[in-house]
Structure 1
Amino acid sequence: MKDFRIAVLLGGTSDEREVSLGSGKAAAAALSKFFDVDVFDIQSTEHLPEGLDPSRHVVFSTLHGSFGEDGTAQKLMDDAGVFYAGCDEASSRLTFDKVATKRMLSEAEVPVTDDLVFEGGKLPSVDAVVSRLGSSVVIKPVDQGSSVGLMFASTEEQIEASLKNCLKGRWLIEPRVVGREVTVGILHNKAMGVVEIRPKSGQFDFTSKYTKGLTEYIAPAELSDELSERIRNLATIAFEACNCRDFARIDCMIDADENLFFLEINTLPGLKETSLLPMSASVCGYNFDELVQKLVEPAILRYKSR
């Protein structure tokens, strides 16, 4: 018997539970080719699952959304002495907050869009939105992933209608960048391949992301070497500026003049074989099984060095 086992955490209680179940099952299948694996379906955010043993488990979490990515699960694991793959509590908490992330990226001279932040129920006026950001905007929750709650508006009437859905939590409004959307994976602090995302609707929302056939993915993205390298360099700076660890996926928009605007950092991105992080890794020659093995390696080293 090996001296450790990989504990895959999946499920959770957030709006992204179904996405997490898919990621976790795919990751567990890949990891089981190299390691002894135990799978834990997380049903509670109050405590770590029964049977998770810090003395013999190294955790690979595929929990998306709140609890999984906001630093809460990471703090529970840190307090229990559990070694785990991916970002620590502080960087997870930071990057789960899109506003805090943008402020950190701006300080590191990574380009981001202007924005307007407000609390649900304390809605800005349509005039205030338009005067600052224009009439074509993107409205999204500050602390959700998988495009949950994402809304697009291109007229004052649509802005007004969208704002009425912002009842709880913190919200972020940004000018809509018309152009190309790309994403790049980071593995062991190095940027991998740039992937272009081409939703047929022109909007990479929840439906386009998770409905088969509604989005085309180009890996590698059809960009000049210079532009691709600029994206990869800035993504690496963003990763380091937020003190991320092991791996992440970073999203970016490119406008018609090839100006870049970085959107957010995903610390526990989707991990099915067809997900964006594996696409980015495939550009660098990694198949899915090899990628998942690489993702957990730093945590195993930390466990063995304890």
Structure 2
Amino acid sequence: MSSPIIAVLAGGTSPEREVSLGSGRAVAQAMACSHLTRLFTVDHDALPEGLDPARHVVFSTLHGVFGEDGGMQRLLDAGGFSYGGCDAKASDLCFDKWRTRLSVSAMGVPVAPGRHFLAAGKPTAAALATELGQQVVLKPNRQGSSVGLQIVSSQVGLEIALGGIRAGDWVAERRILGREITVGLLRGRAMGIVEVVPKSGVYDYSSKYTKGLTEYLAPARLSDEMATRVRATAETAFAACGCRDYARIDFMISQEGELYLLEINTLPGMKDTSLLPMSARCVGLDFVALCRELVAPAVERFQPAAARP
């Protein structure tokens, strides 16, 4: 059997293009330690030229729309490619924050009280404050990397935030005050737990991608009981959404010690300093070893040219 070439996809057309390009460069360099590797830059919502399902196993680092929402995955499926990460169905589900909430809560995973609405039928600030309280998180239902995230703490703030919403579908959630944590999963098993401590108090786009604005505790300082609960809940959520290979799942631990799922990231940031690699280092996997393990299931699924009908 011939060994495949790992085709790393980076770039894309979403607002997270620059983040993806950084992830792609880092992953391609790490993959090259164990596989023949080629980096493909994606500039359109289409498969890049030169991909061959008989020679390439695809590892995508595309973020946001078309990258994480199942768009690229559907094209890869149609083209007969073996690729790492969640399939099109699970990608589409996990990119939709509201559907993710419904799927995981049906399996007993706790989520903050919230509601889904379209811009054309958005609630009034008074109605939202009555339902969820005045501390509310507003976020686009289908977007990544905290793009469009707004946190308000008064009814006046809600009125201003809602007034700026003119298109799309949105999720409003009661804000959970406490500790934000994240855990990476590899083949459905939880790795290390990382605590995220933004200096601003809000882990928004700026806090994620501006050096020095956030502190990370890896591993998080949790009791054995809480750590066990976080890992078990993450594995339940992974399975509930039909994920495969790997993901990163974010949670809040409230001031009362209750655990709430925030979201599931099926194609998380993949620079050496990103959260998934931090989680992996907690269990002894450096960045090169992590990349090798992340693509391993796709390599196992690969059918070389000689084995194809």
Aligned partners of 1:57 and 1:110: how far apart in 2? 37
Structure 1: which 4+ aligned runs deviate by more than 4 Å?
none
CA positional deviation for 1:121: 3.6
Q: Which residue of 1 aligns with 2:156?
A: 157
Length, aligned pairs only: 305
1:61 maps to: 60
Query: Matches of 1:82 and 1:275 in 2, distance apart?
Result: 27
Q: Find the aligned partners of 2:287 and 2:163 in 1 and give their Cα distance.
A: 42
Q: Secondary structure at the match of 1:3?
A: coil
Kindly indicate whether residue 137 of structure 2 is the aligned counterpart of residue 111 of structure 1: no
Map 1:23-62 onto structure 2 (within 5 A): 23-45=23-45, 47-62=46-61
Alpha-carbon distance in structure 2 between the residues aligned to 1:299 and 1:231: 27
Q: 1:157, CA displacement in angstroms?
A: 1.0
1:295 and 1:226 map into 2 onto residues whose CA distance is 28
For the 8 Å contact 1:2–1:36, the answer to whether it is kept is no
Q: State how 1:92-171 maps to structure 2 within 5 Å.
A: 92-171=91-170
Tell me the residue number matched to 1:197: 196
Deviates more, 1:243-252 or 1:33-42: 33-42
Superposed displacement of residue 2, structure 1: 5.4
Q: Which residue is equivalent to 2:11?
A: 11
Aligned pairs for 1:150-229 (under 5 A) are 150-229=149-228
**Residue identity in the other structure for 1:176:** R
Partners of 1:181 and 1:253 within 8 A in 2: yes
Task: After superposition, give the CA deviation of every residue in 1:279-303 in whole Å (9 maximum; x if it has no partner).
Answer: 0001000000000000000000000
Counterpart Cα distance in 1 of 2:11 and 2:257:
39
> Which residue in 1 is equivalent to 2:231?
232
How far does residue 257 in structure 1 lie from its aligned partner after superposition? 1.4
Asked whether the equivalents of residues 121 and 166 of structure 1 are also in contact (C-alpha less than 8 Å), the reply is: no
Structure 1 gaps of 5+ residues are none
The 10-residue stretch of structure 1 (115-124 or 9-18) with the greater mean CA deviation from structure 2: 115-124
Distance 1:228 1:268 in 2: 23
Q: Secondary structure at the match of 2:297?
A: helix
Normalization by structure 2: what TM-score? 0.97
Task: Tell me by how many angstroms 1:122 deviates.
Answer: 2.7
* Post-superposition offset of 1:188: 1.0
2:69 corresponds to: 70
CA contact 2:280–2:286 (8 Å) conserved in 1: yes
CA RMSD, 1 decimal: 1.2
Local SS of the residue matching 1:117: strand
- Aligned counterparts of 1:13 and 1:122: Cα–Cα separation in 2: 29
CA contact (8 A) 1:191 1:235 kept: yes
Kept after mapping to 2: 8 A contact 1:146/1:206: yes
Cα shift readout 1:219-276 (whole Å, capped 9, x = no counterpart): 0000101101100000000000101000000000001111010011000000000000
Give the partner amino acid of 2:223: S
Query: Helix, strand or coil: the match of 2:302?
Result: helix
Q: Is the 8 A contact 2:54 2:303 kept in 1?
A: no
Structure 1 length-normalised TM: 0.98
Q: Is the Cα–Cα contact under 8 Å of residues 182 and 251 in structure 2 kept in the other structure?
A: yes
Aligned residue in 2 for 1:279: 278
Identity of aligned residues (%): 53
Greater displacement, 117-126 / 260-269: 117-126
Secondary structure of 2:93 counterpart: helix
What's the CA shift for 1:208? 0.8
CA shift for structure 1 position 3: 3.3
